[in-house]
Amino acid sequence: MTVYLDTPLFGVAISIIAFIIGIYINKKSKISIFNPLLLSAIIIIGFLSYFDIDYEVYNKGGSIISFFIAPATVILAVPLYKNIKLLQERWLSILIGITVGSLAGLITIYLLSKFLEIDNTIMVSMFPKSTTTAISMEIASQIGGLPVLAVAFTAVAGIGGNFIGEYLLRLFRINDKVAKGVALGTASHALGTAKAMEMGETEGALASLSIGLAGIISVFLIPWFMNLLLI
């Protein structure tokens, strides 16, 4: 058993199996909060804790899956290409929306962290939460945060957007397809985009665009924001 644990195959296998179980539960229950990503994370954590398996042992294979996260997002460019005309017509409002959305996220994190007296290291680890996992890890390591925490906060942001994003859009009566896509992609990256895809091709296309632009903007915006507040 120990021999198998020492190989990357263990991490890859348990990740895939946990995700398949998560998908099964999600489809059978039809409850939004039972997101496959959230369920698979709980299953993996529970499995490692129960059998007292070190995270580093799991991560030999888990890191392989993480490696493919960034290139996998390239496929999101397909619906964007199909809506290129809409992008050309409304590029300025889209860019402003993504920038304001990213900045609003940073301000919210800062104010809540100060109100709740959260440690600065944890706070800065939350700053890149709305970017993809690959980007959030890199940003966190550059600004003095913890990449592992950044991944966790990124997952929470994605799952939260996937779960309640559509309800919030309805609550505030946001009906514009472009606005919906930009909001979900900027706030909740890939999982928000998955929800946008369910709402329509235009929403999905703008959400996928927002993922990339929000990531690029965040690379410059977060250090500027931290310098402004002398963090």
pLDDT tens for 52-111 read: 888 788 877 777 776 676 666 666 666 667 777 777 888 899 899 999 999 999 999 999
pTM of the model: 0.74
| Domain-wise residue ranges, the chain | 2-67, 74-228
Q: Cα(118)–Cα(106) distance, rounded to whole angstroms?
A: 14
Which of 70, 91, 111, 99 is CA-nearest to residue 224?
99
Q: Is 167 buried (19+), middle (13-18) or exposed (0-12) by CB count in 10 A?
A: exposed
Angle made by CA atoms 120, 123, 129, in degrees to the nearest 5: 155
Q: Count other Cβ atoms within 10 Å, centred on residue 6.
A: 11
In contact, 200 and 177? CB cutoff 8 Å:
yes
> Is the confidence at residue 209, as pLDDT, over 90?
no
Task: Kindly state the tokens that stand for 231.
Answer: 């963090």
Tell me what percent of the residues of the chain surpass a pLDDT of 90.
Answer: 25
Task: Kindly state the tokens that stand for 106.
Answer: 């940073």
Q: What is the pLDDT of residue 196?
A: 87
Which of 196, 206, 216, 211 is CA-nearest to residue 89?
206
Q: Cα(134)–Cα(137) distance, rounded to whole angstroms?
A: 6
DSSP state of 172: T
Cα 197 to Cα 14, 33, 36, 202, 217: the distances in Å are 28, 18, 17, 8, 23
Residue 105: CB partners within 8 Å, gap ≥ 6?
Answer: 129, 130, 186, 187
Q: Quickly list H helices, 90-228.
A: 91-115, 120-126, 133-142, 147-171, 177-199, 201-228
Containing H/E element for 15?
helix 8-29
In contact, 159 and 38? CB cutoff 8 Å:
yes
In contact, 76 and 208? CB cutoff 8 Å:
yes
User: In Å, how far from its chain's centre is CA 53?
Assistant: 26
pLDDT, tens digit (0-9, with 9 covering 90-100), for 111-148? 999 999 998 999 999 999 988 877 888 889 889 888 88
Task: Kindly state the tokens that stand for 4.
Answer: 């198998």
Q: What is the pLDDT of residue 74?
A: 65
